[in-house]
Amino acid sequence: MRILRVHIVKEFLPFFFLAFLVFTFILLLGNMLQLIEMVAKGGLAALKLIIYIPLFSLCYSLPMATLAAALMSFGRLSQDNELVAVEASGIKVPSLFIPIFFIGFLLSLLSFHLNSNVVPGARYRFEAMTRELGVKRPALLFQERVFIKDFSQHRLFIEKVKGNYLYGVHIWELRAQSPPLTIFAKRGEVKSEKGGEALTLKLTEGMREQVNPERAGEYRRSNFGTYYFTLSLSSPREEKVNKRPKEMTIKELREEINVLKGKMVYPLLVEINRKISLAFACLTFVLIGAPLGALVKRGGKSIGFGLSFSLILIYYIMMMLGESLGEKGLLPPSLVMWVPTFLLGSIGLFLIFRRIKH
Q: What is the pLDDT of residues 254-281, one digit of tens each?
A: 888 887 765 568 888 899 999 999 999 9
- In this structure, the answer to whether residues 207 and 342 fall within a common structural domain is no
For the chain, the first-to-last Cα distance in angstroms comes to: 20
- In this structure, the answer to whether residues 95 and 176 fall within a common structural domain is no
Q: Which of 184, 208, 232 corresponds to the end of one domain?
A: 232
Per-residue pLDDT band for 331 (boundaries 50, 70, 90) equals confident
Instruction: Work out the average pLDDT over 107-127.
Output: 88
Under 8 Å between Cβ of 235 and 256: no
- In this structure, the answer to whether residues 193 and 307 fall within a common structural domain is no
- In this structure, the answer to whether residues 120 and 21 fall within a common structural domain is yes
- In this structure, the answer to whether residues 19 and 166 fall within a common structural domain is no
What residue numbers bound the domain in which 202 lies?
Answer: 152-232
Return the amino acid letter for 328.
K
Q: Which of 210, 232, 254 corresponds to the end of one domain?
A: 232
SS3 call for 232: strand
- In this structure, the answer to whether residues 204 and 334 fall within a common structural domain is no
pLDDT at 107 over 90: yes
- Please give the Cα distance from 346 to 354 (Å, whole number): 12
Q: What angle do CA 311, 315, 317 make, to 5 degrees?
A: 115
Q: Which of 208, 232, 256 corresponds to the end of one domain?
A: 232
Each residue's pLDDT tens digit, 17-66 = 999 998 888 888 767 766 676 666 555 656 667 777 778 888 889 999 99
- In this structure, the answer to whether residues 309 and 176 fall within a common structural domain is no
- In this structure, the answer to whether residues 296 and 319 fall within a common structural domain is yes
- In this structure, the answer to whether residues 19 and 110 fall within a common structural domain is yes
- In this structure, the answer to whether residues 18 and 117 fall within a common structural domain is yes
pLDDT at 72 over 50: yes
Instruction: Give the model's pLDDT for residue 218.
Output: 67
- In this structure, the answer to whether residues 158 and 267 fall within a common structural domain is no
What are the residues whose beta carbons fall under 8 Å from the beta carbon of 290, sequence distance 6 or more?
70, 74, 97, 100, 101, 348, 352
- In this structure, the answer to whether residues 295 and 353 fall within a common structural domain is yes
Asked whether residue 92 is domain-assigned, the answer is yes
CB atoms within 10 A of CB 277: 21
Asked whether residue 147 is domain-assigned, the answer is no
Structural domain count of the chain: 2
- Please give the Cα distance from 320 to 310 (Å, whole number): 16
Asked whether residue 351 is domain-assigned, the answer is yes
Return the amino acid letter for 137.
R
